[in-house]
Amino acid sequence: MKIFGINSFNIDNVKQNYYHKNCFNIQQKYIQSPIEQDIFIKSNTINPLQNTNITFGARIIKSQSGFKALVRKRTMHCIYCNKVLVDEDRLNKLQKSGIFSGSIKTFINKTKEFYPSMHRTHKTVFRIISAYAKKSPQTTLEQVIQDLYPKALKKLRKSQTPLFEKLHKKAKALPPEYQVKFTKFMQIQNYRLSDKAYINEFSGKEFNYMLKNMSKTIDNDRLVSTMLGYANHLNHPVFKDKEAQIPENLLNKIFNRNKIYNKNTNIIPIQETKTEVMLHIINEIKRIGQKLNRNDIIKLCNKAENEVVGLPVKVPFSNKTFRYDLNEALENLPDETLKKEMMQLTYLLPTSMNNPYSFIAKHESASSEKIGHNLLFPSIVTIEHMKTKFDSGKNIMGNYALSCAFDNNYVRSNRNMSVVLNRYNKENPQKYFNEIFEVVRNGEITIEDVVAQVKTFEEQSGKKIDITPIKNLIEAMEKHSPKTKPKYKRNRKNNRI
């Protein structure tokens, strides 16, 4: 994750509004030390900010990276769940140092400090791994998950069964032609659910998606770029068109060769079959996976090779793929209500975010780096756009809040803050803003920005925030703003915006 520099607050170089030019200039000119501050207060009894207990520093946070960086300086909590937020850079350093790929004993010792920040499912998985570490301390995360997989899969299937039964009942109301489609769809899903091999058509799009996810934990940009470059060729339209011939320029790129013939020679260009070309691409990716010692990439390539030549393969069950394939099977169904009801059932399937056995099953073929990353990642600090970009929310401080990745992802899926807020203690947002108010008093965020954040939160959530802790700062801001209609109205009776 790249961290960009925080813009310096410079009254001479940056265009400021009236308030900054007058009040902030006074603060920077006179309030430099406790002694100077004391002299200033005694000799300037008219100063409107003398009782605000705020000292503006040399830097004001205006960027997302600067806002997230607050977790390095002080303890900050998620606006939703109120769990302590974790700095992603710290986790990245642990991963790069080899903690994730080493023994589970070392992994547990180095990451147990993050346990209080974990969500319920990830805490359960962490406890299971910790218990395993007592018996086999030198085992790797990858080996632990593979060992736990069989029992976890049985328990996961048990929790999925009731939802599949409901889906079958709904399917009885489908028209005859759609019942045939649904039966064929479920036959494929049953192979996946029972972990049995079957002939599956290769998908370049799916291969790319899975490879990109695996590559997120690889600290070698050059090799990742090479792999993804190869994989991108598999998405070329020519591989989907049985009649089309592979263009020569594409072959030259794939095989990294110059033109092997010209008009003055009788040498005929080599035209490999599509199967040979696809196998060459996959083999090059596998070769890089071996160089990186990534078993998950090697397994992905082995599966892809079998799919290309038409051999049976085991395909793990995936909620996302299940949902996508069902939607395709029900395409153009006349009864929209029935389709909606069936699709809604798919969203009730247990996931790796809410079921520990789903987490273990999902990572059966994952690398230790990927497992460790996904176990701790939900606790890292992220920027929550309270008014989403989909709803024309802007990338400005007044629209930002700090949230853990777990809850941010949940909000993104629902596009509704209240859905997530209602899952937790109703006092959590107030606790969060009380911490932000302290940041304002420390001079790291402007009063205008925090007032805008409170306003945006109230508009998007329908919940109120008590602004009493910064009441005097708001009054000073309003008093020294240009004599126009106030931008933020306050209810003086309950101190809310």
Q: Amino acid identity, residue 456? A: T
Looking at residue 21, its pLDDT comes to 37
The alpha carbon of 356 is separated from its chain's Cα centroid by a whole number of angstroms, namely 19
DSSP summary character for residue 363: T
Residue 480 or residue 145, greater confidence? 145
190 sits in the region (left: phi over 0; alpha: psi -120 to 50; else beta) called alpha
Strand partners, 384: 401
Is residue 397 within 8 A of residue 452, CB to CB? The reply is: yes
Looking at residue 15, its pLDDT comes to 36
For residues 78 and 167, give the distance between their C-alpha atoms in angstroms, rounded to a whole number. 36
What are 382-387's contacts with CB under 8 Å, separation 24+? 382/68, 382/408, 383/64, 383/67, 383/68, 383/408, 384/79, 384/408, 384/411, 386/417, 386/453, 386/456, 386/457, 386/460, 386/461, 387/456, 387/459, 387/460
pTM over 0.85: no
227 Cβ neighbours under 8 A, 6+ residues apart: 211, 215, 285, 288, 289, 297
Nearest Cα residue to 496 out of 439, 460, 434, 454: 454
Indicate the angle between helix axes 141-171 and 104-111, nearest 10 degrees: 80
Residue 117 confidence (pLDDT) above 90: yes
Looking at residue 458, its pLDDT comes to 95
Is residue 35 within 8 A of residue 488, CB to CB? The reply is: no
**3-state class (DSSP) for residue 402:** strand
Q: What pLDDT digit, counting tens, does each position of 212-268 carry?
A: 989 988 889 999 999 999 999 999 999 988 888 888 888 888 888 765 444 444 444
